[in-house]
Every structure is written in C-alpha cells, then in structure tokens.
Amino acid sequence: MAATDLTKAVDLSTHAEGTGPNRFRRPVYVDFMPPCNSACPAGENIQGWLSHAQAGNYFEAFQTLVEDNPFPAIMGRVCVKPCETGCNRNHIDTTINIHAVERYIGDESINQQWQIRYNAKPTGKRVLVIGAGPGGLSAAYHLARLGHTVEIFEAGSHPGGLLWTGVPEYRLPKNILDAEIDRIVKMGVKISLNHKVDNVLQEKAIGNFDAVFLSIGAQLIHKEDFEHDDSVYITNAFSFFNEMKNNASPFTRKKVVVYGGGKLALYLARIIKRFGSEVAVYFSGDKKMMPAYDYETEDALAEGVDVQLLQKIKSIAKNKITLEKQKVEKGKAVDTGEFETIDADVLIVANKQESDSGFLRAVSGIKINDDGTVVIDANRMTGGEGIFAGGDMLPGENRSSTIAIGQAKKAAKYIDAFLSKVTFQKPDKHPTAGYRKLHMWYQTEAPQKEQDKLAPAVAVKSFEEIIGGLSEPEAKFEAHRCLSCGNCFECDGCFGACPEDAIIKLGKGNRYKFNFDACTGCAVCYEQCPCHAIEMIPEPVNLSTDVK
C-alpha cells in the first residue's frame, strides 16, 4: 500500500499568531514617584540624592538636592520631615532618617564651601521679590537659576524671615542660616535690607522690574480682645523676639505666660525657660486643635514648660490672669462658665499669625482676605498683573518654611513662563509607589541611625544645638537603607532571574532593556523586582503609547 502523509500542511499565509507559544504580556521598565518625594513640600528628589550619598558622592548629592531646595542644612534642622512619615521603609523597621542625611549633606556643603552648579543664560528680565524669608529667598534662588536678575527688598535688618527671628539657636544656629543665604547672594541675588515696601507699583516702576513675587510672611499676631490693667507686661511673639535681642531682662527670672498653641508659642516658652523664668503655655483648644506637632509639645514638657489646654484668657488685673475653662463641642472650643486665676508678670501672645498686607490694597485687582492673606490664581498670580505671591501670606491651615520654599519653587516656574509670554504646563506626575507595590522578597535588619540629643536637663541650660548631626559613616549607612521605591537602582535582580537571558545590561547608569525576540512574558523579572520598576503590559503593544 502506498504510504499516505496524513499531516496537513500548515497554512503559513493565514496563521497570524505564529507557531510557537504565544506571549500575552510583556515587561516594561517604569518609573514611579517615591512616597518620600511625593510628601516633601519642597518636592525634593530624595531618592536621587540618597543614591549619590550611598556612593559617598556628597557633592553630587548636594547638587541634586539643591535643584529643588537651596537649604539642606536648614531643612535638616527645622523641617517637620513629612517625607519620613511617607517613607516605605517604615513598614519594614524604621523610616530612613532622611532629614539627618540632608543635614549632613548641607553641613558638608558649608564646610567645603560648595557653590550652586547651574548654567543659565541671562534673560535680561528683572524680578522684584518682597520679603527675604524662606519663601522669598527660595523664589529668588530658583529665578536666578533660570537666568533672571533678582532683587529682594526686606523690611527687617537681616534676611531669613521667621528662620532668623522666630527659630531659636538651639534648633537652628544663626551661622548655618547665614551660610545658606550667602550661597544665594553669591549667585548674584541682591538683598536690600531695611527696605520696607509701601507702594509695590511704584517700586516696580522705579526698579524697572518685569514681575514681582510677594512673600511677606505672616508676622503679625492677631489682637486678643480682653480687659487688662498695666500690672502684667503684655507683648506679642514678634515684638518679644525683637525686644529680647536688645534686653532680655523683662523676661528673665519672671513668671511668664505664653498664650497660643503653635510651634511659635512652644519655641518662645523654651527660650524663656533658658532665661531662668517660670513659664506656662495656655491654649484655648484641646490637644487635637494645637497647631504644634506632638513632638514639639513633648520636648517643651520635657524641659519643664507647663502646657495647659482648654483655657481662654478673659481679663488681667493686679498681676493675675483670669482664665475661663473651655470644652469642645462640635469640634469647637466653647466657654463653660468656670474660671480660675493665675499669677503672672509677663504675658506673651503667640496665637494666630496674620499677614501685614494692607499696603497691597492700593493695587487694583489684588484680593485680600480678612486675616491679611492674599488670593492667587492657578498660575500663582494675584489679581495684579505680573504680581505673584507665596508662603505664609497665602490662605491655608498648614504653614511651614518647607511649604513656603516649595510654593516659591512653583511660583518661580510660573513667573518664568509669564516673563517668556508662555503658559507653564505642569508635567505629568508619576503614580506613587506605596509599600504594597513593592515586592520585598528579602529581609534586612538595619535599624535607623539616630542622632544624639542633649538631655532636657542639660539642654535647658543653654542655647546650644540640642540635636547632633550624623557622622559620615552613619549618613552613608542611612542612605544605603533606602529601598529605591518605584525606580530601578540596577540591582541586577531581573538580569539574574530571567530564564531566557532576555535582559540586556546597558552599562552603569543606563539600566537595562528587554530582548523581545527571546522574552516569553513569564513575568519572573516583574515578580522579583523589589522596587516595582517593572510592569507587565498586555500584548499586542502599541509602541507609540504603551511603551515609553
């Protein structure tokens, strides 16, 4: 019998899916936003500068850091570090001590006298910044990086705003503040001190400025309404800071009451404690209503400051302050009709801060709220053409130097666009790489390196800095603890794990690429990627939109 071939020939002209196993998905390298970066009000590329610190290259770490924030040594001391609250490492052991590494880099930059590396062509445009606080200085710095000529007019006799007047030396030594401001001056930013602006439009015209950035802060204290005689010396937080520089004796070895519940009130109380006075902080709300962070209250309590909540001042007579007990109803503190009196020599009011923005009423279009804060639009411009604003003079519950610095960075981009007669387009934000996105297949035991801290009983005896810095090995160790959330750090994990040798190394700093002729879409690379820098996307792939 003749042999018959029963196998039907494959019709290669119609079998579009090919003859091998099908790949239904393929890996792609991606970049996510690390949660630390997302939480930092100044938008620092923390992961980026930590990676330079890991390599011991603190100069590059500094240059990466200052692309977003010109004050690493200051931030490492005063920032309330929301970045660390967001840090994914917290789910494993303890957060990266980000602010301490930042401080190390900042201190190193001061010791080594590193200057800012930037390369901007002069634009010929002139910008006036009003106020040399953290927001004004940050705006001036970022505008200078963009090639604009910047002058700052500051009403006070020293730049720094609240960082100079309101933050005690035990938290921020003045030489650190001055060194980081000096670096901005070296970029060509001119600061005119004792220059109070009363007429913005006139100053703009006289100085031939093309735009203005307002950053006058909130250095007025809301006036409290209570009856009083002259038996108790009454002042407010900002007057106190000025008075104590010339003569601290009215506050030395006295009974002092500080009225307020914010960071400012607690700073004041701790300064006064160092003058040998008895000091108590009274606040009309409860703990939840206190604007100060818990650790600030705890530090004050540890130094012997008495903190009393739900007490409102009613009147002052014959060296006695009468307070009415408050209770919380529907989230608000209300009177109870119960009173108590306390002895006092001095009362320092340090409650709500307001902005001294009355001079802006002369500029048509600028809208000012009752508390002196100023309204801005989506381009960060006030109702006055070419007049932008930022920092504590904007409405909002949360105020901090880091927020002011971040707002000023954003404003500089809008001012730059305004000067170039274009519209600033915000770049797309990558999604955040939260802890659940990571594939932490390995365990590490590397608890945080903590900073040394003076014992409260010692700290309260002087204005010496309370919290110490990290040593170089400690800073490097902390940097190495970073998980590189959401971004490839070239660990070679995918390269080693791929069963098909489908991953090609592109050399240090250039990451990898996939060889899709060999890749089967098994997803082993994706599953082992500890930082979630690989995603699997379905086939077929539209190369122009799916793969970037």
81 or 273: whose CB is closer to ligand SF4?
A: 81
Q: Say which residues have a Cβ less than 8 Å from residue 20's Cβ, sequence separation at least 6.
A: none
Least CB distance to ligand SF4 at residue 177 (A)? 15
305 or 485: whose CB is closer to ligand SF4?
A: 485
96 or 316: whose CB is closer to ligand SF4?
A: 96
376 or 494: whose CB is closer to ligand SF4?
A: 494
Chain CA centroid to CA 417, Å: 24
Dihedrals φ, ψ of 225, to 5°? -105, 90
99 or 312: whose CB is closer to ligand SF4?
A: 99
For binding to ligand SF4 (CB under 6 A), which residues are involved? 27, 34-36, 40, 42, 44, 46-47, 69, 75, 79, 81-83, 87-89, 96, 98-99, 102, 402, 482-485, 498, 500, 502-503, 514, 519-525
Least CB distance to ligand SF4 at residue 383 (A)? 31
Contact of 125 with 398, CB cutoff 8 Å: no
Secondary structure (3-state) at 376: coil
256 or 534: whose CB is closer to ligand SF4?
A: 534
389-391-393 Cα angle (round to 5): 70
Least CB distance to ligand SF4 at residue 48 (A)? 9
88 or 236: whose CB is closer to ligand SF4?
A: 88
Which tokens hold the place of 47? 């992961």
Contact of 395 with 375, CB cutoff 8 Å: yes
Say how far apart CA 345 and CA 281 lie, in whole Å.
14
Least CB distance to ligand SF4 at residue 165 (A)? 21
85 or 249: whose CB is closer to ligand SF4?
A: 85
Say how far apart CA 272 and CA 250 lie, in whole Å.
10
193-195-197 Cα angle (round to 5): 145
Secondary structure (3-state) at 90: helix
Least CB distance to ligand SF4 at residue 12 (A)? 25
The string of DSSP letters for 232-259 reads: SEEEEHHHHHHHHHH--GGGTTSEEEEE
Which tokens hold the place of 548? 């970037």
Least CB distance to ligand SF4 at residue 268 (A)? 23
Which tokens hold the place of 381? 């411009």
**For residue 286, with 0-12 CB atoms within 10 Å meaning exposed, 13-18 middle and 19 or more buried, which class applies?**
middle
Q: Residue 282: which H helix or E strand, with range? A: strand 278-282
Least CB distance to ligand SF4 at residue 113 (A)? 22
Least CB distance to ligand SF4 at residue 398 (A)? 13
Least CB distance to ligand SF4 at residue 317 (A)? 45
Least CB distance to ligand SF4 at residue 90 (A)? 8
36 or 475: whose CB is closer to ligand SF4?
A: 36
CA distance to 48, 57, 105, 294, 477, per residue, from 52 (Å): 7, 5, 11, 33, 12
234 or 485: whose CB is closer to ligand SF4?
A: 485
215 or 484: whose CB is closer to ligand SF4?
A: 484
Provide the b/e sequence for 404-413 (b: ≥16 CB within 10 Å).
bbbbbbbbbb
36 or 307: whose CB is closer to ligand SF4?
A: 36
CA distance to 6, 31, 531, per residue, from 489 (Å): 56, 11, 8
Least CB distance to ligand SF4 at residue 69 (A)? 6
Contact of 374 with 357, CB cutoff 8 Å: yes
Least CB distance to ligand SF4 at residue 467 (A)? 13
Dihedrals φ, ψ of 400, to 5°? -160, 160
74 or 130: whose CB is closer to ligand SF4?
A: 74
Q: Residue 176: which H helix or E strand, with range? A: helix 174-186
The string of DSSP letters for 309-362 reads: -SEEEEEEETTEEEEEEEEEETTEEEEEEEEEEEE-SEEEE---EE---GGGGG
Least CB distance to ligand SF4 at residue 66 (A)? 12
Least CB distance to ligand SF4 at residue 44 (A)? 4
**Three-class SS of 130-162:** ECCCHHHHHHHHHHHHCCCEEEEECCCCCCCCH
**Three-class SS of 514-531:** ECCCCCCCCCHHHHHCCC
Rg over alpha carbons for the chain, rounded to the nearest Å, is: 29
101 or 144: whose CB is closer to ligand SF4?
A: 101
- Four-point Cα dihedral 308, 314, 315, 319, nearest 10: -10
